[in-house]
């Protein structure tokens, strides 16, 4: 194996486990109504002598949320809001008639195994062959035989067309899909983002895309005065995955309109805090990043 391939393999696994660690830490919060719903995240992380594997150690688990929140301020609660918001959107789309769920850049995403409503759909987990192989290995260790409704789809985005690969995997272009794109778009160059959005816009009317984004001004380093902004940009750059694309602040509707989609709903930081980080007595439970959000956009028709 070439050195660059080995490095890419390690980065791919590290990225998937890093996102899973945020979800696992959020699931350990003491207040059940505020927890990240991903109860499988910690189990899907491989055991071993790694920082992420610490979430699997019983004696350390209670301290994990606080440690994560100190190391990456804002990330714990952003991930809670992102996971819960996207879960809500997916359930709503399936209830409205989506019979296919496509998870782009699936990593260690566990929706296909923990959201019961998805058992009535076909779930396509799409990722790079390295990450996809690791995902299958962890699913086998945690769950056993994958559910019959799950299909693993391998793609090299640099050399293969998404539409061709999805067609070969059995995706029905004539049936509505709910497409989830979590934690991916900000790390792609704008051309790659537009190529994926063009594929989405070509789906049957009524299909939806659910994705998160960063403000373009944050990506460009113009908002480093915001809490957590400089820390996050430096951290992802040091890990070999710098932020590359975003949406100008307040331009979510125009962004999707220009790409042949129509905005259904946007969850910004204020709304995410109200929905997912506020206790029943009205007090705020935690602070999350302020420089992005989650969009749901539909193929018109």
Sorted by where each begins, the domain ranges of the chain are: 1-72, 73-298
Q: Give the pLDDT confidence of 10-43 residue by residue, as tens digits.
A: 456 677 888 999 999 999 999 999 999 999 999 9
> What is the token pair recorded at 159?
């050399």
Question: What is the DSSP secondary-structure string of 10-50?
Answer: HHHHHHHHHHHHHHHHHHT-S-GGGS-S-TTHHHHSPPSSS
Instruction: Give dist(CA 168, CA 87) in Å, integer.
Output: 27
- The rounded mean pLDDT for the chain is 91
3-state secondary structure of 247: strand
Strand order in the sheet with 150-154: 150-154, 122-127, 100-104, 177-181, 208-214, 292-298, 262-267
Give the separation between CA 145 and CA 156, rounded to whole angstroms: 25
- Angle of helix 3-27 relative to helix 129-142, nearest 10 degrees, comes to 40
Residue 5 in this model has a pLDDT that exceeds 60 = no
- Say if CB 126 and CB 106 are below 8 A apart: yes
The structure's pTM equals: 0.93
**DSSP 8-state symbol, 157:** T
Q: What is the DSSP-derived secondary structure letter of residue 188?
A: S
Q: Residues 120-176: pLDDT tens digits?
A: 999 999 999 999 999 999 999 999 999 999 999 999 877 899 999 999 999 999 999
Sign of the C-alpha dihedral, residues 65, 71, 76, 77? positive
Per-residue pLDDT, 91: 98
How wide is the angle at C-alpha 137 spanned by C-alphas 189 and 151, nearest 5°? 65
Q: pLDDT tens across 214-260, in order?
A: 999 999 999 999 999 999 999 899 988 899 999 999 999 999 999 99
Per CATH, which fold does 73-298 belong to? Rossmann fold (3.40.50)
Q: Give the pLDDT of residue 137.
A: 95
Q: What pLDDT shows up at residue 8?
A: 44
Q: pLDDT over 70 for what percent of the chain? A: 94
- Predicted pLDDT of residue 6: 38
């Amino acid at each position: 194996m070439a050195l660059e391939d080995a490095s890419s393999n390690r980065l791919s696994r590290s990225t998937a486990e890093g996102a899973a660690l945020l979800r696992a830490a959020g699931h350990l919060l003491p207040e059940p109504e505020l927890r990240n719903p991903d109860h499988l995240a910690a189990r899907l992380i491989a055991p071993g002598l790694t920082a992420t594997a610490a979430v699997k150690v019983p004696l350390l688990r209670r301290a994990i949320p606080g440690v994560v929140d100190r190391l990456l301020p804002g990330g714990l609660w952003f991930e809670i809001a992102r996971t819960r918001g996207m879960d809500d959107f997916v359930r709503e789309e399936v209830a409205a008639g989506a019979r296919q769920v496509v998870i782009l850049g699936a990593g260690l995403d566990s929706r296909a195994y923990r959201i019961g409503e998805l058992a009535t759909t076909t779930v396509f987990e799409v990722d790079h062959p390295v990450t996809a192989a690791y995902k299958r290995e962890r699913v086998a260790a945690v769950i056993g035989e994958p559910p019959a409704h799950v299909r693993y789809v391998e793609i090299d985005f640099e050399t293969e067309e998404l539409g061709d690969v999805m067609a070969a995997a059995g995706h029905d272009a004539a049936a509505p899909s709910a497409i989830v794109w979590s934690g991916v778009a900000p790390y792609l160059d704008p051309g790659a983002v537009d190529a994926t959005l063009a594929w989405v816009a070509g789906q049957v009317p009524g299909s939806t895309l659910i994705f998160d984004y960063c403000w373009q001004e944050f990506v460009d380093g113009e908002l480093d005065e915001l809490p957590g902004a400089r820390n996050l940009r430096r951290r992802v750059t040091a890990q070999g995955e710098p932020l590359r694309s975003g949406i100008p602040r307040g331009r979510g509707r125009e962004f999707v309109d220009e790409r042949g989609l129509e905005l259904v709903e946007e969850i910004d930081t204020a709304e995410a805090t109200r929905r997912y980080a506020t206790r029943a007595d009205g007090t705020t439970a935690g602070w999350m990043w302020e420089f992005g959000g989650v969009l749901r956009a539909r193929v018109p028709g």
